[in-house]
Amino acid sequence: MPFHAAVEEWFAGTFPRPTRAQRLAWPEIAASRSTLVLAPTGSGKTLAAFLAAIDRLMFSPVPPAGERCRVVYVSPLRALAFDVERNLRAPIAGIARTAELRDIAFHRPSRRRSLSSSS
């Protein structure tokens, strides 16, 4: 995994190994290539897609105020957007805990409200 040491440690302590979807997606995402992850429910797609973004948000310098929107998630369904947000809370908290235990500086990602007013 091409992640910060705190992210790798959290992952290794939480999961036995990356899923196939994660193993195949992470190198493509790390190479900044557009990536479509097509896999069954429960195969780790959410973490495959978002772990690189979490890593970048938590361990890279915070950009100037006008450049702070670094991840945009477009959901086809409002309920799915809430599920994704809920499913990412545990990794963010776990990685933050790992970083704190190792005395590693990090930034906790923040969520902005949707610009869309549709529901």
The string of pLDDT tens digits covering residues 29-67 is: 888 888 889 999 889 998 998 999 899 889 988 888 777
Q: For residues 71 and 76, give the distance between their C-alpha atoms in angstroms, rounded to a whole number.
A: 16
Q: For residues 53 and 49, give the distance between their C-alpha atoms in angstroms, rounded to a whole number.
A: 8
Is residue 73 within 8 Å of residue 81, measured between CB atoms?
A: yes
Based on the structure, what is the number of domains in the chain?
Answer: 1
Q: Which amino acid is at 70?
A: R
Q: Is residue 108 part of a domain?
A: no
Is residue 45 within 8 Å of residue 37, measured between CB atoms?
A: yes
Q: Is residue 48 part of a domain?
A: yes
C-alpha triplet 80, 55, 70: angle, nearest 5°:
65
Q: Is residue 106 part of a domain?
A: no
Could you tell me the residue range of the domain that residue 24 belongs to?
Answer: 5-101
Tell me what pLDDT residue 84 has: 83
The string of pLDDT tens digits covering residues 68-111 is: 776 777 777 777 778 888 888 999 999 999 999 999 999 988 76
Q: Is residue 56 part of a domain?
A: yes
Q: For residues 111 and 56, give the distance between their C-alpha atoms in angstroms, rounded to a whole number.
A: 15
Tell me what pLDDT residue 106 has: 95
Q: Is residue 84 part of a domain?
A: yes
